[in-house]
Amino acid sequence: MSVRYALLALLSEGPKYGLQLRQEFEARTGEVWPLNVGQVYTTLQRLERDGLVESEDDAEEGPQKGFHLTPEGHAELTDWLRTPPDLSSPPRDELVIKVMVAVRMPGADVHEVIQVHRRYLIELMQQWTRLKEDEAEFDLGFALVVDAELFRLDALVRWLDAADGRIKRAASEPPRPESFPMPKLRRRIGARP
């Protein structure tokens, strides 16, 4: 999520000052994403230039300057909400690459490699979970962010579990001729920056 749309989103609730925008942004994301003041103002200026926000003209530049959303800005935000993020091409995932290398590398215990990663992921998840446990009545935005992180890590653990099982099965079966469409896939993985 870009800062640009985050600010538009905050302004959609009503006119706000620059400093207020920064504080609210951090609060909403559970202080997971720190933001510096400079970033906020550069972005606001760009938005004003594009006619998506308007500043209150009578106020001077600075943290006390108020901004509000223009109808164009509202339209832009609504549009953005409904635009799906680009998930069509897989991200370059280091974990996947490491496991694939371990499969090919002579002498490497791929299960051990997988377990190292699994343990690391679980430890990470334990820390995230601990956050939930500590704050019984914690902020909704924060909860959503923590959940997202847990589910992302969980997905990786599951992939590791699946890979573990698949490799185990493959080892017990006779090796098949090298014919899987690896080159094509490789190209796609590399396609995304």
Partner 1 sequence: MSMLELRKISKVYGQGASEVQALHEIDLWVDPGSLVAVMGASGSGKSTLLTIAGSLEAPTSGEVVVGGALLSEMSRNDQARMRRRSIGYVFQDYNLLAGLTSVENVSLPLELDGVSAKKARAAGMAALDELGLADRASHYPDELSGGERQRVSIARAVVGDRQLLLADEPSGALDSTNGEAVMRMILGACKRGVAAVVVTHDAQLASWAERVVFLRDGRVVDQTMSPPSPESLLQPAPHS
Question: Shortest Cβ distance from residue 85 to partner 1 (Å)?
Answer: 13
Is the CB of 45 or the CB of 126 nearer to partner 1?
Answer: 126
- In angstroms, give the least distance from the CB of 184 to partner 1: 28
User: Would you say 110 and 103 are in contact if contact means Cβ atoms under 8 Å apart?
Assistant: yes
Q: Which is nearer to partner 1, 78 or 126 (CB)?
A: 126
Q: Which is nearer to partner 1, 166 or 188 (CB)?
A: 166
- By the 8 A CB rule, do 125 and 154 touch? yes
CB of 116 to partner 1, least distance (A): 8
Residues at the site binding partner 1, with contacts judged by CB under 8 A: 2-3, 31-34, 111, 115, 118-119, 121-123, 125-134, 150-151, 153-154, 157-158, 161, 164-165
Beta bridge partners of 17: 66
Beta-sheet strands, E only, within the chain? 16-17, 53-55, 66-69
CB of 165 to partner 1, least distance (A): 6
Q: Are 64 and 17 in contact (CB under 8 A)?
A: yes
- Give strand pairing partners of 100: none
In which order are the strands placed within the sheet that holds 16-17?
Answer: 16-17, 66-69, 53-55
